[in-house]
Amino acid sequence: MMQAREVGAEAPEIEVRIPSRPEWVALARLSVATVAARMHFNVDEIADLKLAVAEACTNAIQHARESDEIVITCRIYSNGLQICVRDFGIGTEAERIRSRDLGEPRVGGLGVYLIRALMDEVEYSVEAESGTVLMMFKKLGDSAR
Amino acid sequence: MARVDINMQVRSVNGSIAVVSLDGEIDVYTSPKVKDFIGKLIDKGTYTFAIDLQNVRYIDSTGLGVLIGGLKRVREHGGAVTLVSTNPQTRKIFDITGLIKVFDIYDSVDDAVNALK
């Protein structure tokens, strides 16, 4: 369970829906960056959020078969930003949500590792019939609250 | 929406070292273009690269994958790859993923080229 966000707090939502295609991932990360800047995350934290949401969208595009759309939902809490990235692929493979070991360098497999490293909390929910939701939370620094 | 693209240039040093300069953002959309660009140079027999990332404003795991793939290919021919970046975010990603131990990253193109000589 996500513990960091303030339970019961009113959380404004911003939702962005993009086609599940590479050329639209930039829109997802720029949208999240705009929300994060509005919340006064610092430059480094915004860069982390952009990368994490882009990795989640890339993962969805590469692994979620028969999914035409990705839905990115930002929920603004007083102590941080929750981002949900939902795809509607079927037959989701367990491999896609596994964080890789950092041993011999190889192509691919780094995205989930980066998401887990950059965000404060990460949860995957995989449903065979309805797709995958990646929920992540980034705490807002004390100076911005 | 903002146009996301990548500009790529190559110049040769001493006839054997390719200095590849990348300018833009490397993500799931643009990384195939970078892979193709470097791949064609390797196909033509270039196995030693200094890749300049100083003007790369954004790179994600797909970009890292292209660099790893290129490194593996040139190593099969006894080649090498050095990188140039002073961008703290880029260096942070290499650090987090452990790739800082795989690639030698320099502050200038001259340093990256000299390391290959």
**A130 occurs within a structural domain:** yes
**A4 occurs within a structural domain:** no
Structure tokens at A111: 């995205």
Q: Report the residue of chain B nearest A26, measured CA to CA.
A: B4
At residue A1, the pLDDT reads: 47
Confidence of residue A98 (pLDDT cuts 50, 70, 90): low
> For B37-89, what is each residue's pLDDT tens digit?
999 999 999 999 999 999 999 999 999 999 999 999 999 999 999 999 999 99
pTM of this structure: 0.89
DSSP letter at A102 equals: -
Domain count of the fold of chain A: 1
* Residue in A51, A72, A114 to test binding to B, most B beta-carbons within 10 Å: A51
Domain at A50, CATH number: 3.30.565.10
> For A39-85, what is each residue's pLDDT tens digit?
999 999 999 999 999 999 999 998 877 779 999 999 999 999 999 99
CB-based contact (8 Å) between B2 and chain A?
yes
H-type alpha helices, B1-117:
31-43, 61-75, 88-96, 109-114
Confidence of residue A95 (pLDDT cuts 50, 70, 90): low
Q: Report the residue of chain B nearest A58, measured CA to CA.
A: B28
Confidence of residue A7 (pLDDT cuts 50, 70, 90): low
At residue A85, the pLDDT reads: 96
Which ipTM did the prediction report? 0.91
Which residues of B are less than 8 Å from A62 in CB distance?
28
What is the average pLDDT score of chain B? 95
Collect all residues with Cβ–Cβ distance below 8 Å to B77 and sequence separation of at least 6. B47
**A3 occurs within a structural domain:** no
Between chains, do A22 and B89 touch, taking CB under 8 Å as contact?
no
Of B2, B71, B98, the CB nearest to A102: B98
At residue A5, the pLDDT reads: 62
CB-based contact (8 Å) between A27 and chain B?
yes
Residue A96 has pLDDT above 80, yes or no: no
Q: What CATH superfamily classification does B6-114 receive?
A: STAS domain (3.30.750.24)
Integer angstrom CA distances of residue A97 from A2, A69, A92, B28: 17, 19, 9, 18
Which candidate, B114, B46, B108, places its Cα nearest to that of B74? B46
Residue B111 has pLDDT above 50, yes or no: yes
Domain ranges, residue A44: 20-144
**A25 occurs within a structural domain:** yes
